[in-house]
Amino acid sequence: MDNILVISGVGDGPGANISNLIRDYWRSTPTVNAAFTQSEFNDYVNGLILDTYCVGGYVINAVGVAVAATIWTPAVDIHYGEVAHPVAHMIDTFWRGTPDMARQLSALRTQCLAKLNATQWLDVKHLSETVQIQRLRKS
């Protein structure tokens, strides 16, 4: 698999075919598939990316389909100032938890942050569907 860094601005949409990732996330997350139909969730995620200035990094398989994506946007945090904020991180369920995928996404994150000229970013950990912890990380 190859790392492909794609810069996408407002209105550009995702830089790779991520419909399979959106479908996989919808299927594997009960609260999401209870709240949205698959088509509604696909439209929601694509709309979110279309309406946000963002930098996306994608892991593409041999047939050109994204198996993982990390998408970041610049933001001004009330506590930390300028930071890179995650818009979406999606990994195909087959590849979740594999060390190689973790390394590739870490490398993509570094490339995305460089394109945003960001020296700090927010690391978000979801404890439950309604609780998350955000930690500031610095490069």
What does 6-58 look like in DSSP terms, one character per residue? EEE-TTT--SS--HHHHHHHHHH-HHHHHHS-HHHHHHHHHHHHHTS-EEEEE
Give the pLDDT of the chain (139 residues) as one tens digit per residue. 666 767 666 566 677 778 889 999 899 988 888 999 999 999 988 888 887 888 888 888 878 788 899 899 999 999 999 999 998 889 999 999 999 999 999 988 998 898 899 999 999 998 987 899 999 999 8
Amino acid identity at 110: T
Amino acid identity at 67: V
Contacts of 13 (CB under 8 A, 6+ apart): 46, 49, 50
Helices and strands, number each (H, E), in the chain: 4, 6
Check if the beta carbon of residue 139 is closer than 8 Å to that of residue 117: no
Q: How many domains does the chain have?
A: 1
Q: What pLDDT does 91 receive?
A: 92
Q: What pLDDT does 136 receive?
A: 94
Check if the beta carbon of residue 38 is closer than 8 Å to that of residue 23: yes
Q: Cα angle at 49 between 36 and 31, to 5 degrees?
A: 25
The CATH number covering residue 32 comes to 3.40.630.30
Residue whose pair of structure tokens reads 């609780």 in the numeric block: 131
Domain containing residue 124: 2-138
Q: What pLDDT does 126 receive?
A: 86
